[in-house]
Amino acid sequence: MPADAAASPSPSRAAPSITWVDPPRGFLGLSLLNGALRILTLGVYHFWGKTEVRQRIWAAIRLDGEPLEYRGTGAELLRGFLIVFFLILLPLGLAGLVASLLLSTSNTSRGAYELAAWSLLFLLSGLGIHRARRYRLSRTRWRGIRAGLSGGSAPFAWTYLWTMLLVPLTFGWILPWRTVRLQKALMSETCFGDKTFTFTGRAGPLYKRFWLVWVSAIILFIIAAALIGVALSLDMAHGLPTFNRPSAGRIAAIAGIVFGGLLIFAMIRAWYTTRVLNYFAEETRFDGARFRLAVRVGSFVWLTASNYLIRVLSLGFLSPIAEARAMRYIVERLTVEGDIAWGQVGQNPDLLLKSGEGLAEAFNVDAF
């Protein structure tokens, strides 16, 4: 980037550009260093490592050529984790242990306990998603102006819980509606400085693709079941049914059918998910600008699959690389249309949030 591009006077009204600038040393060395230090410190360094990764990812995102800033610290993340561990996870774990001691396996009280436990878990997940997003936004700055999330976590967590409980009751048909509802709750409370984003998405357009996902899931299940049945009946054709020990070839065939089915389903789902992402961007507005995201199925599936392999094959040590790739993927496909009057975006007077994102850490929820 030429030096004068950033130094030129920023025009008061112009369509902003969003770009990605790789850090000079990439993420591989940082990942390995973080892993080594984490082992050396019995895991404590995790929070500092994670913070440095975020600092570099944020700094790689350039708005009008100037970087975002991540101002969180490792100590904040550690504090959040400790709070959640001792106030929530440990009591919950002990309660679970006591329940397993006192309640026998086939018991109505056991069922009630399970339902309560899962509900609590969903509630806490919702809480964690909201608080993690609030923490990250509150630690995000651009040109010294802070971002934030204005609403409370409890209403969001409640919405998260009851819509989750409706998923099995509606055979999954509530999913697009739920996604829109949660996105709206988050986006319409997201602010940069003293200006808030607006989200005008509706569930209707998503159902145009969702129904196919739903139907294909059922059809694929039926086809796979039929194919497996054929594979097994071939076995029976040679004499007695031998369900106990099907041959290795047969097991491979069944595994292949299941894997193929899942792969086709993953492609169809990706076709839906990319639509969700692009649609959500399109329906998001900030000041006079709206967003355009051009995510395509093929590249999206490749990103998801390769990131999964990177995480799994490196036992999680290279997940910073996967995080950076995911962010870069979005940033490089995101454009802004229309103008933003930067001169009228002022500082948000809200106080800094004090605790870290413990709940998200504990429930392994990555809301970004």
Partner 1 sequence: MSMPSDGRRYQGAFGNGRTAVTTPVDVRLTSHGLEIRAEGERQARLWPYAELQSSVPLLVDDKDVLLSRAPGGLETLFVADATFPRALLARTPALSPARRRWQGVRPGLALVAAVAVIAGGIWALDVSPPQTVARMMPQQVRETLGRNVVTSLAGQYRACDGAAGRAALDRLTQRLSTAAAANAVPVQVMLLDWGLINAFAAPGGQIILTRGLVQQAGSADEVAAVLAHEMGHAIELHPETGLVRVIGLTAAAQLILAGSSGTLSNIGVILTQLRYTRIAEREADTHALRLLKGAGISPKGFGDFFERLEGRRPAAQQGKGITDYEVIRTHPLTAERLAMIRAQPAYPATPALSPEDWRALREACGAPRPPAPAPAAPSGDATASPTPAPTPGKQSPQAEQDIAEATRTLANNPKDVAALQKRAGAYARRSQHDLALLDYAKAIELKPDDAALHYGRGLALQNLRRHEDAISAYDEVLRLAPAHANARNGRGNVNRTLRRWDAALQDFEELIRTRPDYIHARYNRAMVLREADRLQEALGAFSETMARDKDYTAALTGRGLTHEKMGAREAAIADFRAALAMPAKYNNGAWAHRVARERLKALGAK
Among positions 72-91, residues that touch partner 1 (CB under 8 A) are 74-75, 78, 81, 85, 89-90
Q: Looking at 33-41, 126-134, 153-161, 288-296, which segment touches partner 1 (CB under 8 A)? A: 33-41
Can you tell me the distance from the alpha carbon of 63 to that of 241, in angstroms, rounded to the nearest whole number?
Answer: 66
Instruction: Pick the closer one to partner 1 by CB: 40 or 230.
Output: 40
Please tell me whether residue 193 binds partner 1 under the rule CB under 8 A.
yes
**Is residue 334 a contact partner of residue 293, using CB atoms and an 8 Å limit?**
yes
Dihedral sign, CA of 77, 145, 147, 65? negative
Please tell me whether residue 349 binds partner 1 under the rule CB under 8 A.
no
Sort residue 144 into left (φ over 0), alpha (ψ -120 to 50) or beta.
left
Task: Kindly give the interhelix angle for 28-40 and 319-332, rounded to the nearest 10 degrees.
Answer: 140
Please tell me whether residue 144 binds partner 1 under the rule CB under 8 A.
yes
Please pick, from the candidates 14, 71, 183, 185, the single residue that binds partner 1 as defined by CB under 8 A: 71
Sort residue 287 into left (φ over 0), alpha (ψ -120 to 50) or beta.
left
Q: Looking at 60-68, 162-170, 237-245, 254-262, which segment touches partner 1 (CB under 8 A)? A: 60-68
CA R_g for the chain:
24
Which of the residues 34 through 53 are near partner 1 (CB under 8 A)? 37-38, 40-49, 52
Instruction: Pick the closer one to partner 1 by CB: 261 or 358.
Output: 358
Token pair belonging to 301: 């599936």
Please pick, from the candidates 143, 290, 325, 328, the single residue that binds partner 1 as defined by CB under 8 A: 143
Minimal distance in Å, beta carbon 13 to partner 1? 11
Please tell me whether residue 109 binds partner 1 under the rule CB under 8 A.
no
Say which amino acid occupies 61: I
Please tell me whether residue 244 binds partner 1 under the rule CB under 8 A.
no
Q: How many other CB atoms are found less than 10 A from the CB of residue 206?
A: 20
Strand partners, 191: 148, 196
Please pick, from the candidates 26, 93, 256, 298, the single residue that binds partner 1 as defined by CB under 8 A: 93
**Is residue 201 a contact partner of residue 279, using CB atoms and an 8 Å limit?**
yes
Please tell me whether residue 240 binds partner 1 under the rule CB under 8 A.
no
Residue with tokens 């004068």: 4
Please pick, from the candidates 256, 347, 350, 354, the single residue that binds partner 1 as defined by CB under 8 A: 347
Residue with tokens 């097991």: 251
Minimal distance in Å, beta carbon 302 to partner 1? 22
Minimal distance in Å, beta carbon 328 to partner 1? 16
